[in-house]
Chain A
């Protein structure tokens, strides 16, 4: 049984560009959350999707947006990239909202130059 799959694994972008990261949740999971993990820090919550709607949002600007598809997969889009957006972006899935804990993917390492 595949866990959470994220693509790509690594990405280099230039300031001002736009990026799209992708996530396929674990089988049977309908809720997808995105986190940003800067070097040496804990993961910071960006937003959560359930039933194709953004259900919760953390303290991130509108440059960060997302989408969830009917098959529960999800995308994270970041516009107008800043150097400070360089981080590991983690996708986590859970059944029904996260009460039982989350399954994390291996992440996408984004470097903005």
Chain B
């Protein structure tokens, strides 16, 4: 089984809808991250969490929120999706030594 899983893998939604992307990990890492990847751009950090009670904004947090339900689970929500949030979203974990382990990604299309 994969160490970092993301659901759904693909999602099409309409402008204004609320959606949630979920991430689970079995690596036992405390640190979890959400990134988005757009064509021609490097990965951009949305939110990160160093433990269950810790939530931090990344570079591009506007329009997003997160929830760290447990050490193994970190969810990303788009409260009111807009077309420029169409992107590939990655969850990642790390054990504090900075190598990050990425999930397979969620491809989101906002119409």
Q: Do A and B come from the same complex?
A: no
A binding-site residues for B, Cβ under 8 Å: none
B binding-site residues for A, Cβ under 8 Å: none
